[in-house]
Amino acid sequence: MLAAAQAPPAPTSGTGRNGAKAAPASTATINLPFIEPYDWPRVLRFFAGRATRGVETIEAGAYRRAIEWPDAHDYALAAGTLSVTRHPKKACLVATLDGDVARHANAIGKHLTRMFDLRADAPAIGAHLARDPWFAPLVDAAPGLRVPGAWSGFELVVRAIVGQQVSVKAASTIIGRIVQRAGTQLADHPHADTAWRFPTPAALAAADMDKIGMPGKRVAALQGFAREVASGALPLDDPRADRDELRAALLAMPGIGPWTVEYVAMRALRDPDAWPGTDLILMQSLAARDPSMAKAKELRARADAWRPYRAYAALHVWNEIADKAGGAKGG
């Protein structure tokens, strides 16, 4: 049994050397520490392959998007732009907030810590997985691999539903169409590649989805899910919410199956042991290593040895495929 991982310090704030420093122009920078190693290039590659056009982009070693954050003082949403890079020397990511969102640097820093999986103890996870001879070379190839999260659990579930039985590229194309129909274009936004806000749950639920590129049943599932989130019934972005209850609620919804639920558990609910075992690419890769793994019973038995880090096991397999293909594959 591995010892419990020692989490890095919480995101720093204030005016100290490592803190969030608000400037007169409504800008704040936050240092977000992590445990080395941290494979920033592969994290960016994962996000780049799944980026929603117009909403988020990867450029010059940075993740960037337009964001909003609840403002408790005036019961509105503070708006601005987020940019995240890796510090050139220190073991931390550096988040830059421009606009009214800079007032919420501390809260956003905690959110980004989850999104970029900064509390994971990569050496401990790698050592555990490497006990299986399959994973030793994968861990050696990418010792700092993380499970990339998402800015919004709602966005991630939308993508997961859209991505059912289609390629990563095809899902990205359809998501882009959805943003054009139901999202909001930002006037005078300084970055053209992040000048759209992702649709709100209410807007997506009411949008015209005719000829969007999805089967009718999947459209119905997508908009039914959006209505549930709009009602407040699914607190996907609340770290205090019970994972099992959210899993059960998602699985009970029409058009959402075990793969979608486990994929969301990996990236939005931050369950390190989530296991999307019915993923086609994952299954094919494992069966290619050992034909007996093509049988569900044998695969489950082998995967049990990877607990409590099966989400990272899945990422290692997807990463190996992406490395060979030179792009985003799986997930």
Is 80 within 8 Å of 190 (Cβ atoms)? no
Give which of 275, 260, 267 is closest to 306, Cα–Cα.
275
**Tokens found for residue 82:** 């987020």
Active-site residue, selected from the candidate residues 132, 279, 304, 323? 279
84 three-state secondary structure:
strand
* Contacting residues for 110 by C-beta, under 8 A, at least 6 apart: 10, 11
**Tokens found for residue 105:** 């640097």
Q: How many CA atoms lie within 13 A of 150 on its CB side?
A: 26
**Tokens found for residue 243:** 């994972």
**Tokens found for residue 270:** 């931050």
- Which sign, positive or negative, has the C-alpha torsion 184, 198, 191, 76? positive
Residue by residue, DSSP assigns 254-270 as TT--HHHHHHHHHHTS-
CA 263 from centre of chain: 10
Told to judge if 279 belongs to the known catalytic residues of this protein, a careful annotator would answer yes
Residue by residue, DSSP assigns 175-236 as HHHHHHHHSEEPTT-S-GGG-EEPPPHHHHHHS--TTSSS-HHHHHHHHHHHHHHHTT---T
- Residues with a catalytic annotation lie at 279
